[in-house]
């Protein structure tokens, strides 16, 4: 699933995560990672993947109801059951909705249509983590959604070469039409001036969403705030890398490397409300 590339932006038991929250964070991660693998890994057919995700959802429902988990995924649902009192099951079901949608991906009509996918594929992660920190006010949730949706979009603009081979197109038709680029051009990763202009427009959209959400990283106190600063700056760094190569991400996949870490840390340390 391209949305998070095995949840590479997910703060799994990092040094910045308070020890008391790490079991819950790890449980959420393994729940999402396992669902990701069911949707994408191995040689199973689409029908087999759909059934596996349905069985997995039944395992989640049993866990929420306090019933013993299926032996097939006991390693996932047993630790998740211990943390369920701190989690909102509806958000976990939203994640599964997104994984299922990726097995028969639609063509997205416009940006609102794609953001509805982000609402289920990415935003639940931020809301689950905020819940662990006891943050539930409307403004924080709205900004968290903006950050998570931005990260999801950035993953899309980073992963054209991976998604194209799977027939997954996350560029809204309205954007394709505006720039005179076809769905087939994007799926085949055909670079062109029009395609680069399209990607520049899409990256500007993702950056706007990230700017909208970024004040949350400054508002949150302690480790949560510092961790979110790094997440925000990591997403912005990918956008900067795409821009530095003239928005050629149809043919070149940008990534954050080890040598980028000092730059990333400095950005987080000096971050202001509008990065």
pLDDT of residue 222: 85
87, 104, 121 — which closes off a domain? 104
157 plus 205 within the same structural domain: yes
Residue 90 and residue 153 share a domain: no
pLDDT value of position 41: 78
The Cα–Cα gap between 222 and 214 comes to 16
pLDDT reported for residue 165: 85
Task: Tell whether 4 is covered by a domain.
Answer: no
| 100 and 110, same domain (yes or no) | no
Cβ distance 236 to 275 under 8 Å? yes
Same domain membership, residue 142 and residue 98: no
End position of a domain, from candidates 57, 73, 104: 104
Judge whether 132 lies within some domain.
yes
Residues 158 and 262 in one domain: yes
In a domain, 191, yes or no: yes
The confidence score (pLDDT) of residue 223 equals 83
pLDDT at position 116 is: 96
Residue 37 in any domain: the answer is yes
Residue 273: predicted pLDDT: 62
Residue 122 belongs to a domain: yes
* Same-domain check for residues 243 and 259: yes
Query: Could you tell me the CATH number of the domain that includes residue 128?
Result: 1.10.600.10
Indicate the pTM of the whole model.
0.91
> Mean pLDDT, 10 residues at a time, over the chain (275 residues)?
43 62 92 92 89 96 91 94 95 96 92 97 94 94 96 96 90 98 97 98 98 94 88 95 97 91 90 67
Residues 164 and 218 in one domain: yes
Domain coverage including residue 63: 14-104
158 and 275 co-located in one domain: yes
- Residue 78's pLDDT is what? 95
Distance CA 227, CA 9 (A): 11
Residues 117 and 250 in one domain: yes
- Count of domains observed in the chain: 2
Q: What is the pLDDT of residue 40?
A: 83
User: Which residues fall within 8 angstroms of residue 18, CB to CB, at 6 or more apart?
Assistant: 222, 223
The answer to whether residues 164 and 200 belong to one domain is yes
Does one domain contain both 90 and 177? no
For residues 178 and 234, membership in a common domain is answered with yes
Give the residue among 91, 114, 89 at the shortest CA–CA distance from 2. 114
What is the per-residue DSSP string for 26-74?
Answer: HHHHHHHHHHHHHHHSSS--HHHHHHHHHHHHHHHHHHHTTPPPPGGGH
């Amino acid at each position: 699933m391209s949305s998070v590339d095995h949840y590479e932006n997910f703060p799994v038991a990092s040094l910045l995560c308070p020890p008391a929250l790490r079991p819950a964070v790890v449980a959420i991660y393994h729940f999402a990672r396992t669902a990701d693998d069911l949707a994408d890994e191995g040689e199973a057919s689409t029908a087999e993947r759909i059934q596996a995700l349905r069985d997995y959802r039944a395992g989640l429902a049993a866990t929420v109801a306090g019933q013993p988990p299926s032996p097939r995924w006991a390693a996932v649902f047993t630790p998740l059951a211990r943390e369920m009192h701190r989690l909102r099951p509806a958000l976990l079901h939203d994640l599964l909705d997104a994984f299922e949608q990726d097995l028969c991906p639609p063509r997205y009509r416009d940006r609102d249509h794609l953001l509805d996918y982000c609402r289920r594929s990415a935003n639940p992660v931020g809301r689950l983590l905020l819940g662990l920190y006891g943050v539930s006010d409307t403004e924080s949730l709205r900004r968290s959604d903006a950050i998570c949706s931005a990260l999801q979009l950035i993953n899309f603009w980073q992963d054209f070469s991976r998604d194209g081979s799977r027939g997954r197109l996350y560029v809204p038709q309205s954007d394709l039409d505006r720039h005179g680029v076809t769905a087939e051009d994007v799926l085949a990763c055909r670079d062109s001036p029009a395609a680069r202009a399209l990607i520049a427009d899409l990256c500007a959209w993702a950056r706007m969403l990230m700017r909208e959400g970024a004040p949350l990283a400054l508002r949150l106190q302690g480790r949560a705030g510092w961790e979110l600063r790094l997440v925000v700056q990591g997403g912005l760094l990918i956008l900067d890398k795409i821009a530095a190569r003239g928005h050629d991400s149809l043919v070149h996949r940008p990534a954050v490397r080890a040598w980028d870490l000092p730059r990333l840390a400095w950005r987080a340390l000096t971050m202001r409300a509008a990065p």
